[in-house]
Amino acid sequence: MSGITIAVIIVVIIAVYFVVTYNAFVMLRNRIKEAWSDIEVQMKRRYDLIPNLVETVKGYAAHESGTLEKVIQARNMAMAPHESMQDVAKSENMLTGALKSIFALSESYPDLKANQNFLELQRELRDTEDKLQAARRFYNGNVLAYNTKAEMFPSNAVAGIFHFEKEEFFELDEAEAEAAKKPVSVKF
């Protein structure tokens, strides 16, 4: 083989590597977008269920308006546009905490606890929370694969050339994670 043939083969191999790696980044970025879309669908479903839950609870626990207002306020904050993934996570975690307080209220109101609408809404919200948690795990798994590829040599060269920037994980900060583990206290 001549030197020119070897040089052409090397150039072709490098070009194929760049194409394959670029396509892998595009695929991973699209998976991240798809995973984020799944999270948004579950969050919207949760946002839509909350007003029905609040209305159901109102009938049984009218003097608990402070708790109900906190839930609505947390819902509105979660639905607002956010600057970063940390802002989204923070507002979602506040909403989760507010929802815990409504479910804690049901323990003090046996009629509410037995209400079929409340039980159905509670079941749907629990199901939605489970789906949301799965969607977050799927999203974070895709972000991990993407970020790892963007940082590893030699694919980091392709990432740098084509501006594939690192993505943010959807995660709790440590203070919020600890707060989420604590039981909700209800005071009358």
Domains and CATH numbers, the chain: 3-181 (1.20.1440.20)
For residue 149, the model assigns a pLDDT of 96
pLDDT higher at 65 or 156: 156
Closest to 158 measured CA to CA, from 12, 6, 25: 25
Are 142 and 31 in contact, with CB atoms under 8 Å apart?
A: yes
pLDDT at residue 20 above 90?
A: yes
Look up tokens 């199901």; give the residue: 127
* Of 86-90, 108-112, 149-153, the least confident: 108-112
pLDDT at residue 173 above 90?
A: no
Give per-residue pLDDT as tens, 137-150: 999 999 999 999 99
Q: How far apart are CA 170 and CA 83, in angstroms?
A: 13
**Core vs surface per residue 15-46: b (16+ CB within 10 A) or e:** eeebeebbebbeebbebbeebbebbeebbeeb
Q: How far apart are CA 157 and CA 154, in angstroms?
A: 6
Please, which pLDDT band fits residue 185 given cuts at 50, 70 and 90?
very low
The highest-confidence range among 24-38, 44-58, 77-91, by mean pLDDT, is 24-38
pLDDT higher at 186 or 101: 101
> What percent of the chain is modeled with pLDDT above 90?
52
Are 25 and 156 in contact, with CB atoms under 8 Å apart?
A: no
Give per-residue pLDDT as tens, 34-61: 999 999 999 999 999 998 888 888 777 7
For residue 68, the model assigns a pLDDT of 82
Q: What is the pTM of this model?
A: 0.77
As to burial, measured by CB atoms within 10 angstroms (0-12 exposed, 13-18 middle, 19+ buried), residue 53 is buried
Look up tokens 């046996």; give the residue: 110
pLDDT at residue 92 above 50?
A: yes
Q: How far apart are CA 77 and CA 128, in angstroms?
A: 19
Q: How far apart are CA 95 and CA 73, in angstroms?
A: 9
Give the CA radius of gyration of the chain. 24
Give per-residue pLDDT as tens, 120-135: 888 899 999 999 999 9
Please, which pLDDT band fits residue 174 given cuts at 50, 70 and 90?
low
Q: How far apart are CA 63 and CA 108, in angstroms?
A: 13
Please count the CA atoms within 13 angstroms of the CA of 25 that sit on its side-chain side.
25
